[in-house]
Structure 1
Amino acid sequence: MSNELRTPYEQGNKNQTTTWEDCIAWYENLARLYPQVLNFSVIGTSDCGLPIHAGVVTADGVFARETLKAAGRPVFFNNNGIHPGEPEGVDACMALVRDFCTQPERLAALGKTVFLFVPMYNVDGSINRANTSRVNQDGPEQFGFRGNARHLDLNRDFIKCDTLNAQTFNKFFTAWDPDVMVDTHTSNGADYPYTMTLIHTQTDKLGGALGAYLQDTMLPHMFAEMARRGWPTCPYVNPVKDCPDHGIAEFLETARFSTGFAALHHTIGFMPETHMLKPFEARYDSMRALVDTALDFTVANGADIMRLRRAARDEGKTRREWPVHWAMDESRPSSFRFQGYEARYSPSKLGNYTRLSYDRSAPWEREIAYYNHFPADITVATPRAYVVPRAWREAVERLQWNGVQMEQLGEDRVQEVRVYRIKSVTSRAGAYEGHMFHDEVALVAETVQLTLKAGDWWVPLDQDQARYAIETLEPQGHDSFFRWGFFNSVLEKKEAYSDYVFEDHALELLESEPQLRASFEAWKAANPDKLSDQVAVLDFIFANCQRYVEPEWRRYPVLSVM
């Protein structure tokens, strides 16, 4: 093999990862040398103004997306470098694409499957290179940084789309509609013998026959095949307590993460997490094996996967109820035969506490509890359609980027709708990825008649992208637009009062509004400690009277037509 075809990783000491500049130049050269195998192009721009690239490999030299999708060909998508400090997937993908170009038998083995890839997604983070940001990681010598130019984690941005990267990704993913996705990572956490651990689209959340196929057919094959290739693999090590001995829980990857986002499109997603404490060379080799294993399965079973995805979409068009939130069932653990190291506890030399360590000289293998059942704990009745007022353009844009079919109303019309009133919201204490995320949302639903305005967006639910619309527009969805704060302004009452004037007027309101008086008496009985607080007393009366009600206050603006 000529030196120009060797990847930067292969040319070094196998403890180095490519730079973004070298990676892109290498792919561009490869595409020039093998134009019938590889198409490589710019698909967008990062927040710091650098191009984001993607590549397409096919065995017959057909690269036009419309042609490939019209032919019904399976699409396998490999995303790399979302966290540039976890780069083994970047280097492994380069070698795989090179092998497609230089090994006719490897290319022919693709058959009709399309190999789609992003070489380095977080471009901004990849150029912010050092060797200090990954505290516990064994190599490589230099690597990129987790955050992008806006200090955001792109693997938390797939729904809110604060970054240009995520906006590009939403549109790119929707256009190609891959059947299987592998998004490559490196893990933090406990110590254990495995080099490769695996997060997959949670099967209960993926749901239906597609979820069952992943659980019963694809995952067993992948674990067996990885063991055959010399890389025994376990589920992502997410201990339920401080170490794996007490059991591990499956990772509920909601839609902010790549695999959860993929599930909104009925795509089977994998997030391989190599172990940070293993040498970079071993992590690289195991990642190449994992991508090859998932790809080979897709090539062999693409028709089945596509059929199941089509069935899931068709089923979604007629569902009477949709789950929007899932929770771990602690009463039904499965088991996994796990290889671990003995956990040791000893006094810390830094402070007055006990620290955990792992004794590699004392390995063990036994069955441990594996919590992998996540039934839905919030389900909603399926609307006939949603109505998104045109003023909320941020929500409308994201729906459009994800292929949600909708149309603008041509004229005003009165419509009976389901309206949510926001009863309470509990937000996490600090900023989370640039937002004040709402962890808890309590709602009250009511049916009213409202005037829909010309220009508002009508979003029917008898469509392929129903799942994306429902999980983002239902406020209680794990990663709904509401939870991410897109509609925060409706939580603020816009008008106020002067206490010295309103004190007398409040008495008049209590006389003229019997329901207000009854509510106030109940509030006083429940809150005797607040009766000495003028603000609390007047606030209650002002907030609950009908005379000065603000209809939009705490009313979720997206309406449901049942």
Structure 2
Amino acid sequence: MRLLKFSLFFFSIVTLAQNKLVTPYETGNGNQTTTYEQCIAFYQKLDAAFPTIQMIEKGKTDSGKPLHLVLFSADANFESNANKTVILINNGIHPGEPDGIDATMILLRNLATGKVKAPKNVLFAAIPVYNIGGMLNRNSYSRANQNGPEAYGFRGNARNFDLNRDFIKSDSKNSRSFQAIFSELQPDIFLDNHVSNGADYQYTFTCIATQHERLGGALGEFFINEMYPEMVKDMQKKKIDVVPYVNVYGTTPEKNGFNQFPDTPRYATGYTTLFNTLGFVPETHMLKAYNKRVKVTYEFMVSAISYAEKNHAKIKSVRAAAATTYKAGDSYPIDWAIDSSKVSYIDFKGFEAGYKPSDVSGKNRLYYDRSRPFTKKIPFYGKYKATQFVTVPKAYMIPQSQWPVLDVLLLNKMEYSQLKKDTIIEVETYKIAQYETAKSPYEGHYGHYNTKVERQTEKIQFFAGDYVFSTEQKGIKYLLETLEPEAVDSYFNWNFFDAILQQKEYFSSYVFEDLAKEFLDKNPKIKAELEQKKQEDKKFAENGAAQLDWVYKKSPHYEKAHLLYPVFRVN
């Protein structure tokens, strides 16, 4: 029987090889991954050989090469429509983690040839290689923590951006092309294939199931209580254990347990969640053999297709209902923290760990003993609680002068209108009251955090051509997460509005001294505030320059634009 199975396997490989439809990974030793050129050539052959496969170019990347999209449809209808569940796979965002690149090539071939049953209710789409520049930067050493393949790509893209931090700020052409693809497909399910880093353990496959609270309501409950558990069960039927992504570095998982990964909107699934897409990040274990990692990545995609095929109607229904979860006047959460009061326990399969003297430094170093596997119950903190809210406005007003932000909003297909004439409108304004700035660069930015605002209602002059973004649209969560400056990945925190943080006009003390006295004499209330502040703050009382600056900022001479956030809320 085993001989017969081997003969059939050998025959199928020979037949595929004759048709040149064997992937470079399959013809290698199990520890080799395709090159970029081989990958694209393989998909071109699939496209030419099967009417159910289509490969198209979809925008540019920082490398200068186009981003490709490969589609499979059992009926050769490649239009994304309401009748099919759309699955989008992203590969090679970190090309040193190529498991998904090779696994997806095999899967699309097997779908086309019928080795995997073709789903009638699913449109399957895949980006073969997202970070092309990184894949072209091929080496064998940059992944020091990883067991194979023999050669692979580099984490940074052609401009050295980590593309899995670029989904909101969109500094790269890769991100801009991805957003065009995403807006066009409007996928129901999204997978971003990765390889993990961190601790050692027995599992080959771990997974980030996106923070379900960000999906919200019935959609979030469906995702975490129905969809994900069923997919895990399907993997277990194939004898593949699944555990949440082990978010542990520098210590051991069993010591204190671990948390659900916080995939904020800068990350792939954090971004896709803003559009109510059901997102997963498969994270194979870096120290397992490459052929085993490719296999489990392949099987998880098959499980996703199987679940989508069986449950396509429900997926469509629950996502459609989620589009109306938030409306003007509702409270929307813009910051989250782990809820440590809600803990579950996992039968975790790990390895005993300990410390011994380092051969390099002589100091204690962590090590794992693979000859001593264990299964222990450890805590997993998988629930988040909202820690800050904003009230959803009716609309956001954005002056046309703020074109860098407008470009990204329009790229993401946010619906808008423009004023037809100059108009004075009563709006809620934000003044940036507090913020901190990173001391080191992060992905091309010195980002802000701990941002606080002061709110005020004012009548503001807007002009013909200024933009109005109603929150009554599918992209409501995207608007809130990017335009509310206190949100973690807001455009303010990503430095889009740094020009307002710099004061443009100042004063000469010897001139303004007389103007300040005249102003205080005419405004006794402000003069009384100054005297009170001097009594309460000794350093301020001894600093004449600080007092003069305080008066200046209370006077009509101080520029209104300083710290005034140029996005306005219509309530």
Question: Structure 1 length as normaliser, TM-score?
Answer: 0.95
Letter in 1 for 2:286: M
Q: How does 1:369-384 map to 2 (within 5 A)?
A: 369-384=379-394
Q: Which moved more, 1:5-14 or 1:215-224?
A: 215-224
Equivalent in 553, 557, 570 of residue 548 of structure 1: 557
The match for 1:6 is: 22
Which stretch shifts more, 180-189 or 458-467? 458-467
Shift of 1:503: 4.3
SS of 2:349's equivalent? strand
- Structure 2 counterpart of 1:17: 33
Q: C-alpha root-mean-square deviation of aligned residues, in Å?
A: 1.8
- Identity, in percent, stands at 39
**How many Å apart are 1:113 and its aligned residue?**
0.7
Give, as a single letter, the amino acid of the residue that structure 2 aligns with 1:383.
P
Check whether the contact 1:327–1:375 (CA below 8 A) recurs between aligned residues. yes
Alignment partner, residue 403 of structure 1: 413
Asked if 1:77 is matched to 2:88, the reply is: yes
Runs of 4 or more consecutive aligned structure 1 residues displaced over 6 Å after TM superposition: none
CA shift for structure 1 position 431 = 1.1
In the TM superposition, what is the alpha-carbon distance from 1:2 to its structure 2 partner? 2.6
Distance 1:94 1:449, change over 3 A: same
Q: CA-to-partner distance for each residue in 1:390-440, whole Å, 9 max, x for gaps? A: 111122122222221101110122221111111011111111111111121
Q: Output the CA distance in 2 between the equivalents of 1:532 and 1:356.
A: 55
Task: Give the C-alpha shift of residue 198 in structure 1.
Answer: 0.4
How many angstroms does 1:449 deviate by? Answer: 1.4
Contact 1:241-1:247 within 8 A present in 2 as well: no
- Residue of structure 2 equivalent to 1:61: 76
**Contact 2:329–2:393 under 8 Å retained in 1:** no
Contact 2:327–2:392 (8 Å) recurs in 1? no
- The SS at the match of 2:276 is coil
- Kept in 2, the 8 Å contact 1:422–1:441? The answer is yes
- Taking structure 2 as the reference length, the TM-score comes to 0.93
Q: 522-531 vs 209-218, which deviates more?
A: 522-531
Distance 2:244 2:169 in 1: 28
Give the distance between the partners of 1:184 and 1:519, measured in 2 at CA: 59
Give the deviation of 1:526 after TM superposition: 4.5
TM-aligned CA deviation for residue 138 of structure 1: 0.5
Residues 361-404 of structure 1, C-alpha deviation per residue, up to 9 Å, x if partnerless? 22221221111111211111111111011111122122222221
Aligned residue pair count? 554
- Distance (whole Å) between structure 1 residues aligned to residue 131 and residue 506 of structure 2: 46
Quote the residue 1:178 is aligned against. 187
Which of 321, 329, 348 is matched with 1:338 structurally? 348
- Structure 1: tracts of 5 or more residues without a match: none
**Is the CA contact 1:316–1:464 (under 8 Å) kept in the aligned structure 2?**
no
Deviation at 1:471, TM superposition (A): 1.3
- Bigger shift: 233-242 or 515-524? 515-524
Q: Residues of 2 paired with 1:527 and 1:143: CA distance? A: 60
Ranges in structure 2 where 5+ consecutive residues have no aligned partner: 1-14
Evaluate the alpha carbon distance shift between residue 518 and residue 228 of structure 1 in structure 2; reply closer, same or farther with a 3 A threshold.
farther
Give 1:498 shift: 2.3
Task: Write the letter of the residue equivalent to 2:31.
Answer: N
- Of residues 312, 328, 340, the one that matches 2:322 is 312
1:256 to 258, 261, 266: 266
Residue number in structure 1 paired with 2:61: 46
Pick one of 459, 483, 497 that aligns with 1:487: 497
Displacement of 1:222? 2.0
Is contact 1:128-1:144 (8 Å) kept?
A: yes
CA contact (8 A) 2:194 2:281 kept: yes
User: How much has 1:467 moved relative to structure 2?
Assistant: 1.4
Cα distance in 1, alignment partners of residues 207 and 364 from structure 2: 30
Residues 133-171 of structure 1: CA deviation (Å, up to 9, x unaligned): 111110111111111111101111111111111001111
CA distance in 2 between partners of 1:319 and 1:372 (Å): 29
State the secondary structure of the residue aligned to 1:327.
strand
CA distance in 2, matches of 1:515, 1:124: 62
Aligned to 1:135: 144
Letter in 2 for 1:13: N
Q: Secondary structure at the match of 2:324?
A: helix
Q: Write out aligned runs for 1:530-549 (5 A).
A: 530-542=540-552, 544-549=553-558
Question: Is 1:37 equivalent to 2:46 in the alignment?
Answer: no
Structure 2 SS opposite 1:375? strand
Contact 1:421/1:443 (8 A) holds in 2: yes
Tell me the residue number matched to 2:168.
159
CA distance in 2, matches of 1:2, 1:150: 38
Q: Which letter maps to 1:76?
A: I
Report SS of the residue matched to 1:121: coil
CA distance in 1, matches of 2:437, 2:209: 28
1:198 aligns to what?
207
Give the Cα–Cα distance (whole angstroms) in 1 for the partners of residues 342 and 521 of structure 2. Answer: 56
Q: How does 1:349-364 map to 2 (within 5 A)?
A: 349-351=359-361, 353-364=363-374
Work out whether residues 205 and 374 of structure 1, in 8 Å CA contact, stay in contact via their aligned partners in 2.
no
